[in-house]
Structure 1
């Protein structure tokens, strides 16, 4: 059971995003219109991070653990120091990086994945 009542944080963000898109954006122009579009995009990113972030983080931690590193900093150090240069690790490192970038795009701008 969740500690907070409805609406959820994601639902609140969606309501504000919809208000900006449907009511504010058509009524403004120029600089305010641009900043409204930016705000709509930011709210969408936050919504997607709330929805996708926990699963993405768990999956990223799993991939890091498979390589024997605790976090991205340790991964970077292992790569820099040549500890993951073997052919058995190259594919795993490449896949980890590919999936990390994919996760970032799923949150920041899923349209880039199409």
Structure 2
């Protein structure tokens, strides 16, 4: 991250909190608090991946939309509602968009 922010950056801070929850908190709690700790660990993992992958994913998504000749997701949705969802380029763009979401939400879902 550029100035004025110093080390640790946002990614490192989120990783430190996630690691603390995994190593120190999770083994010490049970029941509902353990469940919510696991949820928090997963959320922080998603934030880490979005910080890391998000800018490139946004650029790639914008390129795909431009390649389809649409200015944004609303126009893309309109095209789908018009019945043009069988367009191979549109299907490829949707597949790539879903894959990007999975890569952030839970990359394990994409493993065969």
TM over 0.5: yes
Structure 2 residue aligned with 1:27 = 28
The residue aligned with 1:2 is 2
CA distance in 2, matches of 1:48, 1:30: 28
TM-score between the two structures when normalised by the length of structure 2: 0.93
SS at match of 1:7: coil
Question: 1:42 — aligned with what?
Answer: 43
Equivalent residue of 1:11, what SS? helix
Corresponding residue number in structure 1 for 2:74: 73
Report the TM-score when normalising by structure 1.
Answer: 0.91
Give the one of 105, 108, 111 matched to 1:111: 108
- Please list the CA deviations of residues 6-46 of structure 1 after superposition, one character each: whole Å capped at 9, or x if unmatched: 10100000000000000000000000000000000000000
State how far apart, in whole Å, the 1-side matches of 2:21 and 2:80 are.
Answer: 44
**Structure 2 unmatched runs, 5+:** none
Distance between the aligned counterparts of 2:98 and 2:79, measured in 1?
19
Secondary structure of 1:69's partner?
coil
| Structure 1 runs, 4 residues or longer, greater than 3 Å off | none
1:91 Cα deviation (Å)?
1.2
